[in-house]
Amino acid sequence: MRLFYIPFICFVLLVAGVLFALATRTTPGDMVTALLSPETLFALRLSLVVSLTAVALSLIIGLPTAYLLARSRFPGKFLIEIFLDLPLVMTPLVAGMGLLFLFGPELLGDVAVSAGLDILFSPSGAVAAQTFIATPIVIRNCKTAFEEQDYHYAWAGQNIGLSPFQIFVYITLPMIGHEITSSAILAWTRAMGEFGATLMVAGATRFKTETLPVAVYLNITSGETGIAVACSWLLILMGFCLLLLLKALQKDSPRKNNLNLQEF
């Protein structure tokens, strides 16, 4: 078993090496300046707004979908489930290209514009891209949680006269609160780091559609390493905090939930 320490230590060193390389790229003084620069602050603010909106939309779409998939049986259900999981395995660039064509002038573009939604090459496009990527994470994890919930609780709810919708709101959802929160955190982490699809749908325009990953891309390609590294550290720190929160939630969970971490 001592041999197992070799790959373990190698990977720990690799992760530490990546962080070390990022840390030594700038001086602390330059880092502070880069962190406080208007571009970094804009990217941080836009990333938070866009990713949180995407998570909210993912929950609104994902929770009812997960409930339906968990509680109903219909022919070809497994195919539908695979179909809904596709965004998880689709290359983000391909997903983004699909969204670009879907919301382009030849398909839904005019309809979206007439409804007041300016999706392409705008922050709304980033929201659309991140929602597309994050929703399957919510569906997958919440479906498992719904499936594991004992249906007798729903019976107990019906016995006291609650309608199916009331049972969903007052019993089913609160009972899987931990799993919903964990799913939302995973989805948020994924949305925060989303780049490929966002680039295709929203574009990469400074001070317009510049999320943190886009800021890293724009600045590294233009040689502004300071801001690129500062934005990278912001992403790493936020990811670390979210993972810490996720761990804490899993520790407190009454059912020690089985989140599918592989898509993260």
Partner 1 sequence: MCRIGLHHVSNRVLKDINLEIKNRELMVMIGPSGAGKSTLLNVIAGFLPCTGKISMGKRCVNTLPPHQRRVGYVLQDLYLFPHLTVEKNISLAMKNLPCSETEKKQKRATVLQCFQLEKLAARKPDKLSGGEKQRAAMARSIAAEPSVLLLDEPFSHLDCTTADHMRTAFRRIQQNLGITTLFVTHDLSEAKALADRIVLMKKGKICLLPLESRGSAITDFEIPERLTA
Tell the residue number behind the tokens 């004992």, with chain if given.
150
Q: Which is nearer to partner 1, 155 or 207 (CB)?
A: 155
Rounded Cα gap, residues 138 and 188, in angstroms: 10
Taking alpha carbons only, the member of 224, 193, 230 closest to residue 211 is 193
Taking alpha carbons only, the member of 188, 163, 169 closest to residue 239 is 188
CB atoms within 10 A of CB 54: 27
Q: Which is nearer to partner 1, 171 or 200 (CB)?
A: 171
Taking alpha carbons only, the member of 183, 216, 202 closest to residue 88 is 183
Rounded Cα gap, residues 137 and 119, in angstroms: 23
Which parts of 103-211 fold into alpha helices (H)? 109-114, 123-148, 151-159, 164-167, 173-175, 177-192, 196-202
Please select the residue that binds partner 1; options are 3, 106, 114, 150, rule is CB under 8 A.
150
Q: Which is nearer to partner 1, 15 or 160 (CB)?
A: 160
Please select the residue that binds partner 1; options are 160, 251, 252, 262, rule is CB under 8 A.
160
Q: Which is nearer to partner 1, 11 or 170 (CB)?
A: 170
Taking alpha carbons only, the member of 182, 159, 154 closest to residue 169 is 154
> How many residues make contact with partner 1 (CB under 8 A)?
20
Judged by CB under 8 A, does residue 72 bind partner 1? no
Judged by CB under 8 A, does residue 177 bind partner 1? yes
Please select the residue that binds partner 1; options are 7, 28, 223, 254, rule is CB under 8 A.
254
Please select the residue that binds partner 1; options are 33, 122, 166, 225, rule is CB under 8 A.
166
Minimal distance in Å, beta carbon 59 to partner 1?
18
Judged by CB under 8 A, does residue 17 bind partner 1? no
Rounded Cα gap, residues 194 and 213, in angstroms: 7
Listed ranges 18-26, 80-88, 109-117, 170-178: which one lies at the site for partner 1 (CB under 8 A): 170-178
Minimal distance in Å, beta carbon 177 to partner 1?
7
Name the residues that contact partner 1, by CB under 8 A.
150, 152-153, 155-164, 166, 170-171, 174-175, 177, 254
